[in-house]
Amino acid sequence: MMERLTNNWPQKLLALVLALIVWALAPTPGREGQTEIQFFVPLTYTNAPKDLIMTSQPLQAVSILVEVPARDLASIYPSHFQAVVDMEHTTEGTHRFKISRSDIKTPKNVRILTINPDAVDIKFEKAAERELVIHPVLIGAPAPGHVLQKVTMYPDRVRVLGSAEILDKLDQLETKALSIEGLNAEIEMFASIDWPEGIKVIEPAPDNYTARIQIGSEPTIRLFENIPLGLVNQVYVTQINPKSFSLAIRGPRTLVESMTIEDIQAFIDLKAYKPGKYKVQQPTLRLRPEIQIQKVWPPIDIWVLNQKIYE
């Protein structure tokens, strides 16, 4: 017998709890021709002062026991009831609002017997406005060989309403976690804000936020040697030494590793050079904008002779 009682005890305990709930909410006989039944009624708060904000979590619903004519029982539903708390003329501080029978809208022929709880305590504080920056929270790592380059929020800030005490502790708002696991290209994601308790958004509308996440190839450095050097706008006979140079660049791995010497344009513009001797530390280089120049060597010696190419 003991083994039967203890076997599958979690399921038996759950069944007992459900049975008690059904028993508690089930209609019970009342006066002649009347039936008592319990409902949970949502609370609606109205006429909240615009210069105050609720800083305590308000009660969401109350339990009411009502008496209903037995003939009407089948047509009575919880959605037919509504409890209203009027907060007009409220001042700063903690206030208790009584919930009476007159505050609850009921169907015809329904009599309220009890209300539980019959009051709700709410704390009010002076409301303040502030503009806060939105900070994206990222989790995970991009695909191998790629890195996170930039994250931009649209919009990147929001105006909120809250108590001065709460807002003084905030310097930014954070999004709920956005995963960048395995990403290898730019992507846009819808972002939700992790709203602190007691904060209300003024503009823009909640959940109307986008994060643009830029993922790029992991940067790498590469050395090129013996890059030929060209001369442009040459007026005089000119000699240079050396006629090639070396270059170290940094840029996205996928781009840098596919480059060849032919992709590097290097030249010296001689248009402003008169006869004489010069030393140029770095020739003019034309590279893709993603490429950064790390080092150029050696310096180039230039001899411009007093002899024009074309007389």
Name the residue type at position 241: N
Specify whether 183 is located in the same domain as 87: no
Q: Are residues 109 and 199 in the same domain?
A: no
Q: Report whether pLDDT(11) > 80.
A: no
Rg (CA), the chain: 38
**13-17, 185-189, 219-223, 240-244: the lowest-pLDDT one:** 13-17
Question: At 1, is the pLDDT very low, low, confident or very high (cuts 50, 70, 90)?
Answer: very low
Looking at the fold, whether 9 and 95 belong to one and the same domain comes out as yes
User: Where residue 19 sits, what CATH number does that domain have?
Assistant: 2.170.120.30
| Confidence bin at 266 (pLDDT 50/70/90) | very high
Residues 281 and 291 in one domain: yes
Which whole number is the average pLDDT over 241-263? 94
Of 217, 249, 272, the domain-final residue: 217
Last residue of one domain, picked from the residues 104, 126, 148: 126
Domain membership of residue 96 (yes or no) is yes
Domain assignment present for 106: yes
Is the domain of 241 the same as that of 203? no
pTM above 0.95, yes or no: no
d(CA 81, CA 105): 5
Q: How far is CA 11 from CA 1, 15, 16, 22, in A?
A: 17, 6, 9, 17
**Residue 101: count of CB within 10 angstroms of its CB:** 13
Closest CA to 308 of 272, 276, 275: 275
Residues 118 and 6 in one domain: yes
Domain membership of residue 187 as a residue range: 136-217
Q: Is residue 131 part of a domain?
A: no
**270 in a domain, yes or no?**
yes
Of 183, 217, 251, the residue at which a domain comes to its end is 217
Residue 27: its pLDDT value, please? 55
Q: What pLDDT, on the 0 to 100 scale, is given for residue 269?
A: 96
Q: What is the pLDDT of residue 224?
A: 97
At residue 5, the pLDDT reads 42
Q: Are 191 and 175 in contact (CB under 8 A)?
A: yes
Mean pLDDT check: name the lowest of 48-57, 116-125, 275-284, 301-310.
48-57
**CA separation, residue 189 to residues 186, 216, 266, 286 (Å):** 10, 17, 42, 36
CATH number of the domain residue 146 falls in:
2.170.120.40
On whether residue 112 sits in a domain, the answer given is yes
Average pLDDT over residues 222-239: 95
Same domain for 6 and 110, yes or no, is yes
> In the prediction, which pLDDT does 261 show?
94
29 falls in which pLDDT band (50, 70, 90)?
A: low
Tell me whether residue 88 is in a domain: yes
Mark whether 187 and 81 lie in a shared domain. Answer: no
Q: What is the pLDDT of residues 37-57, one digit of tens each?
A: 898 999 999 998 888 888 788
5 against 103, higher pLDDT: 103
Check whether residue 244 and residue 209 sit in a common domain. no
Domain count, the chain: 3
Residue 20 lies in a domain: yes
pLDDT at position 26? 52
Q: How confident is the model at residue 191 (pLDDT cuts 50, 70, 90)?
A: very high
Given a cut of 80, whether residue 160 has pLDDT beyond it is: yes
Whether 171 and 262 map to the same domain: the answer is: no
Q: Do 235 and 212 lie in a common domain?
A: no
In a domain, 268, yes or no: yes
Same domain membership, residue 163 and residue 179:
yes
pLDDT at 24: 47
